Amino acid sequence: MSKVRVGIVGASGYSGSVAARLVAGHPGLTLAFATSDKLSGQPVMQHLGVRVDDKLRYVANGAALEQGDACDAVMLATAADISMRLAPAFAERGKQVVDFSGAFRLDAASYPRWYGLEHAAPAWLARAHYGLPELFGTPAAGAIVSNPGCYPTASLLAIAPLVREGLVEEVGIVVDAKSGVTGAGKQSGEAFSFAEYADDVRAYKLLAHQHSPEIVRALSRWVRPGGTIKLTFTAHYLPIKRGLFATCYARPRPGATAERVAACLAEAYAKTPFVRAMAPAEVTLKRVVGTNYCHVGATADEDVVIAVGAIDNLLKGAAGQALQNLNLLNGLDECAGLDGLAPVSP
């Protein structure tokens, strides 16, 4: 069986370079092209750290569409405004598209507020699949796969089953989440220097983070008749390279005991390869960083339900989940290319 040819647009950023390495090491995929303005013309193998065709060179980002004939699928590790243009163009050529940006995660009316721009391809929003496999299954053929954001991935995997089963109130949900600095992408300037980030924690985009409506939109699929999701989301950066931890708080509904909420998560993910339910105190970054796993846990008392989720923001929060979606699109083993990953902590 021939391998699926995959192109990576934006292959020198954090998530794009991880995606390129995963594709290069995948038994059923082959890296067809990789784009990067910074590395254009240079050998891909020189920078990737894994073996690929030694003739493969990075091409400029602006030449991505010209590479379309060389691939069957494309991963877009690009900003939302770029993905709005490239994703439909590749899809119209019959290519599978997995987009890492937020370009196809919301309704068209939400983009001016949350992304500061009008949506350039609103007709494609209805054809986008929100690619969180454990909650939304296999993407349909021909859909643009909108890979979820890292914060929504950890938050939704922790809290969504509790909303779905009616164990928490839909109003008053609070998500407090913290990520390693790679979640900001490759940035320059004083604000992103080591001296500024080390030994510090900072909240950012208060009441204005684009992942807030993304989480609300996903949870809204399970509201009770007449209900609505009301959520407060706050993102923070930690002085670590990678890893993301989300703590979700909600008001309990009748029946939401500590035993029941824990069992709810265990039942929801009993047959999923990458999400493991456990005691909340056992959910740590060290156990998931370097892997495509998400660890979740939940507990409750008469006043509050607390659910936690931990992921590697560059793997389950980005490139690993994108590969998981690509596996599903092509009828491959969902774990292919991902089951050999291991935690980086001793």
Q: At what angle do helices 150-164 and 211-219 cross, to 10 degrees?
A: 30
**CA angle, 66 then 187 then 244, to 5°:** 100
Q: Where are the alpha helices (DSSP H) in 247-316?
A: 258-268
Residues 201 and 34: their CA atoms lie apart, in Å, by 34
Q: What is the DSSP letter of 256?
A: -
Q: Are 146 and 211 in contact (CB under 8 A)?
A: no
Strand-pair partners of 310: 245, 295
Q: Are 177 and 238 in contact (CB under 8 A)?
A: no
Give which of 155, 126, 118 is closest to 142, Cα–Cα.
126
Tokens of 163: 């909303």
Integer Rg of the chain from CA: 20
C-alpha torsion sign, points 60, 150, 275, 129: negative
H or E element in which residue 295 lies: strand 294-300
Q: Is 248 a catalytic residue?
A: no
Catalytic residue among 71, 150, 248, 294: 150
Residues with active-site annotation: 150
